[in-house]
Amino acid sequence: MVVEHPTMVRPGTRVRLDEIDPDFHEGLGKRDDEVKERLKQARDAMRELQERLYAEGEQSLLIVLQAMDTGGKDGTIKHVMRGLNPVGVCVSSFKVPTPEELAHDFLWRVHQRVPRRGQIAVFNRSHYEDVLVVRVHELVPEPVWRRRYEQINEFERLLAETGTRIVKLFLYISKEEQRERLQKRLDNPDKHWKFSPADLEERELWDDYIAAYEDALTLCATEVAPWFVIPANRKWYRNMIVAELIEGALREMNPQFPEPDFDPRQIVLE
Ligand code: ADP
């Protein structure tokens, strides 16, 4: 069963990002009680469901986070995952591949980081970089990256069939919002570490990235591994929706505390 949600990409439909509003926020305000309550409710439920998932030790959850630079991947992880038991969560950030990683197929490094049973894994960037930055910068020939959409679908199907629930989130900001966020990083000395002049070169390639994202979202939205396009200009709205989606996925997984293989009433402690 797929979580039906307004942000979900329907498998088989062509995604056009200019038809989606990155500023969408249901007409809510940051300080509305409804927003605070919905976020709290989702976080509390996530906590309880994670406990069950961990105790059950049968299934796992993989959350893939992709975004343009400044799109809010780090902030989403910080705000949404807060409160989960760190023992059961593993965050992996995928950077420029090392020579060792490049000496293998593109999924090799990713497969090693998928969640073990009972765990939640968060991918901060992912195997999708291999059809995004790699495509935009022509790091491999076109026939090579073109084959990857199908290879990714097969890989994700393997994970799904072996007990991993997959939720893929594209945090979608506008180009104007990115300009403002980059400017804030320049204006605030405490944020300079987050800025890189290379970000400006990537920004020049905005349209190429949008085209690459549209293909990744279109070609790799499957029943077992759906893509969600999260309107992410407003950080509080993004956090709330992401928390609700993760809660929904965990609920559908319906993890159960295992039955004890002993009778607690028969056990007497000295
Ligand atoms: P982030 O922007 O995620 O906070 P960094 O600033 O360290 O982290 O950026 C990581 C960089 O690694 C990004 O520019 C990204 O495009 C690049 N990258 C990730 N995966 C690949 C890949 N498979 N091939 C080439 N570059 C990659």
Domain range annotation of the chain: 17-254
Cα of 131 from ligand 1 centre, angstroms:
12
H or E element, residue 170 = strand 164-172
d(CA 209, CA 211): 5
94 lines ligand 1 (CB under 6 A): yes
| Range 17-254 has CATH code 3.40.220.10 | no
pTM of the model: 0.96
d(CA 147, CA 185): 37
Cα of 94 from ligand 1 centre, angstroms:
6
Cα of 69 from ligand 1 centre, angstroms:
10
52 lines ligand 1 (CB under 6 A): no
- Residue 33: per-residue pLDDT: 98
236 lines ligand 1 (CB under 6 A): no
Give burial (CB, 10 Å; 0-12/13-18/19+) of 230.
Answer: buried
Confirm if 15 and 217 have CB atoms less than 8 A apart: yes
pLDDT tens sequence for the chain (270 residues): 444 688 999 999 999 999 999 999 999 999 999 999 999 999 999 999 999 999 999 999 999 999 999 999 999 999 999 989 999 999 999 999 999 999 999 999 999 999 999 999 999 999 999 999 999 999 999 999 999 999 999 999 999 999 999 999 999 999 999 999 999 999 999 999 999 999 999 999 999 999 999 999 999 999 999 999 999 999 999 999 999 999 999 999 999 999 999 999 999 999
71 lines ligand 1 (CB under 6 A): no
Ligand 1 atom nearest residue 74's Cα: 4
Cα of 43 from ligand 1 centre, angstroms:
29
The DSSP symbol for 19 reads G
68, 109, 110, 129, best to mutate for ligand 1 pocket (most atoms within 8 Å of CB):
129
96 lines ligand 1 (CB under 6 A): yes
Q: Map 110-131 to HEC letters.
A: HHCCCCCCCCEEEEECCHHHHH
Distance of CA 178 to the CA centre of its chain: 19
Residue of 76, 172, 160 lying closest to 124 (CA atoms)? 76
Ligand 1 atom nearest residue 133's Cα: 16
- Residue 31: per-residue pLDDT: 97
- Residue 3: per-residue pLDDT: 45
Ligand 1 atom nearest residue 69's Cα: 2
109 lines ligand 1 (CB under 6 A): no
d(CA 63, CA 5): 16
Ligand 1 atom nearest residue 198's Cα: 14
Cα of 93 from ligand 1 centre, angstroms:
8
Cα of 64 from ligand 1 centre, angstroms:
14
